[in-house]
Protein backbone atom coordinates (compact mmCIF):
# COMPACT_ATOMS: atom_id res chain seq x y z
CA UNK A 1 0.00 0.00 0.00
CA UNK A 2 1.54 3.36 -0.99
CA UNK A 3 2.28 5.89 1.74
CA UNK A 4 -0.26 8.68 2.13
CA UNK A 5 0.84 12.12 1.03
CA UNK A 6 0.86 15.25 3.13
CA UNK A 7 -2.42 17.10 2.53
CA UNK A 8 -1.89 19.98 0.11
CA UNK A 9 -3.15 22.69 2.48
CA UNK A 10 -0.80 21.54 5.25
CA UNK A 11 2.15 21.30 2.87
CA UNK A 12 1.48 24.78 1.50
CA UNK A 13 1.18 26.26 4.98
CA UNK A 14 4.39 24.67 6.26
CA UNK A 15 6.41 25.59 3.17
CA UNK A 16 5.31 29.23 3.54
CA UNK A 17 6.07 29.14 7.27
CA UNK A 18 9.65 27.99 6.67
CA UNK A 19 10.03 30.47 3.83
CA UNK A 20 9.14 33.47 6.01
CA UNK A 21 10.65 32.34 9.35
CA UNK A 22 13.99 34.09 8.82
CA UNK A 23 12.39 37.28 7.49
CA UNK A 24 10.56 40.24 9.02
CA UNK A 25 7.37 38.72 7.53
CA UNK A 26 7.27 36.03 10.28
CA UNK A 27 5.35 38.20 12.78
CA UNK A 28 2.71 39.09 10.21
CA UNK A 29 2.35 35.48 9.08
CA UNK A 30 2.20 33.95 12.59
CA UNK A 31 -1.61 34.24 13.02
CA UNK A 32 -2.08 32.68 9.57
CA UNK A 33 -0.08 29.54 10.43
CA UNK A 34 -0.41 28.97 14.20
CA UNK A 35 -3.61 28.34 16.14
CA UNK A 36 -4.44 30.91 18.86
CA UNK A 37 -3.64 28.35 21.58
CA UNK A 38 -0.65 26.76 19.80
CA UNK A 39 1.61 24.53 21.93
CA UNK A 40 5.23 25.26 20.89
CA UNK A 41 8.61 24.06 22.22
CA UNK A 42 11.14 26.45 23.73
CA UNK A 43 14.15 24.22 23.24
CA UNK A 44 16.63 26.52 24.97
CA UNK A 45 14.71 26.54 28.25
CA UNK A 46 13.11 23.09 27.99
CA UNK A 47 9.56 24.40 28.42
CA UNK A 48 6.40 24.62 26.33
CA UNK A 49 4.98 27.90 25.09
CA UNK A 50 1.27 28.52 24.60
CA UNK A 51 -0.34 31.05 22.29
CA UNK A 52 0.78 33.64 19.78
CA UNK A 53 2.20 36.10 22.32
CA UNK A 54 4.55 33.57 23.90
CA UNK A 55 5.74 32.22 20.54
CA UNK A 56 6.21 35.75 19.15
CA UNK A 57 8.28 36.74 22.22
CA UNK A 58 10.36 33.55 21.93
CA UNK A 59 11.10 34.19 18.27
CA UNK A 60 11.95 37.85 18.99
CA UNK A 61 14.43 36.76 21.69
CA UNK A 62 16.03 34.28 19.27
CA UNK A 63 16.53 36.99 16.67
CA UNK A 64 17.93 39.42 19.26
CA UNK A 65 20.59 36.88 20.24
CA UNK A 66 21.41 35.67 16.70
CA UNK A 67 19.83 35.12 13.31
CA UNK A 68 18.46 31.56 13.28
CA UNK A 69 17.88 29.75 10.00
CA UNK A 70 15.86 26.65 9.23
CA UNK A 71 16.13 24.91 5.86
CA UNK A 72 13.24 22.60 4.99
CA UNK A 73 14.56 19.38 3.47
CA UNK A 74 11.36 17.35 3.22
CA UNK A 75 7.80 16.73 4.39
CA UNK A 76 6.01 13.46 5.07
CA UNK A 77 3.21 12.08 7.18
CA UNK A 78 4.27 10.50 10.46
CA UNK A 79 3.64 6.79 11.04
CA UNK A 80 0.30 7.61 12.69
CA UNK A 81 -0.88 9.34 9.51
CA UNK A 82 -2.09 12.30 11.57
CA UNK A 83 1.02 14.41 12.10
CA UNK A 84 3.23 16.02 9.49
CA UNK A 85 6.99 15.60 9.87
CA UNK A 86 9.29 18.27 8.46
CA UNK A 87 12.90 17.23 8.14
CA UNK A 88 14.89 20.43 8.63
CA UNK A 89 18.48 21.54 8.93
CA UNK A 90 18.93 24.27 11.54
CA UNK A 91 21.47 26.99 11.01
CA UNK A 92 22.67 30.40 12.02
CA UNK A 93 23.60 33.52 10.06
CA UNK A 94 26.41 35.73 11.29
CA UNK A 95 28.92 38.16 9.80
CA UNK A 96 30.87 35.24 8.30
CA UNK A 97 27.80 33.86 6.49
CA UNK A 98 25.37 30.98 6.95
CA UNK A 99 26.36 27.99 9.09
CA UNK A 100 24.32 24.77 8.96
CA UNK A 101 24.15 21.91 11.46
CA UNK A 102 25.69 18.66 10.28
CA UNK A 103 22.62 16.64 11.21
CA UNK A 104 18.99 17.44 10.42
CA UNK A 105 16.18 17.21 12.98
CA UNK A 106 12.46 16.61 12.65
CA UNK A 107 9.74 19.12 13.43
CA UNK A 108 6.51 17.24 14.07
CA UNK A 109 3.26 19.16 13.55
CA UNK A 110 -0.31 18.61 14.63
CA UNK A 111 -3.07 20.65 13.02
CA UNK A 112 -6.27 21.89 14.59
CA UNK A 113 -9.73 21.83 13.05
CA UNK A 114 -9.18 25.29 11.53
CA UNK A 115 -6.19 23.94 9.56
CA UNK A 116 -3.53 25.81 11.55
CA UNK A 117 -0.62 24.33 13.51
CA UNK A 118 -1.84 23.42 17.00
CA UNK A 119 1.39 21.80 18.28
CA UNK A 120 5.01 21.42 17.25
CA UNK A 121 7.57 19.01 18.67
CA UNK A 122 11.23 18.51 17.82
CA UNK A 123 12.94 15.13 17.69
CA UNK A 124 16.00 13.47 16.13
CA UNK A 125 15.55 12.09 12.65
CA UNK A 126 13.89 8.68 12.91
Q: Read off the pLDDT band of 1 (50, 70, 90).
A: very low
Residues 100-121 have pLDDT tens digits of 999 999 999 999 999 999 999 9
- For residues 95 and 2, the model is more confident at 95
Q: Is the pLDDT of residue 33 over 60?
A: yes
Integer angstrom CA distances of residue 120 from 1, 89, 93, 106: 28, 16, 23, 10
Strands 84-94 and 67-77: antiparallel
Q: What is the pTM assigned to this prediction? A: 0.91
Q: Is the pLDDT of residue 17 over 80?
A: yes
Mean pLDDT of the chain: 93
Residues 51-71 have pLDDT tens digits of 999 999 999 998 888 889 999
Amino acid sequence: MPAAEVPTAQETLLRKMYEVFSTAERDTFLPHCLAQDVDWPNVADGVRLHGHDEVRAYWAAQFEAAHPLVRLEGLRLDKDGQRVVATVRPGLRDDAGDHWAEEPVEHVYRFGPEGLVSRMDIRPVS
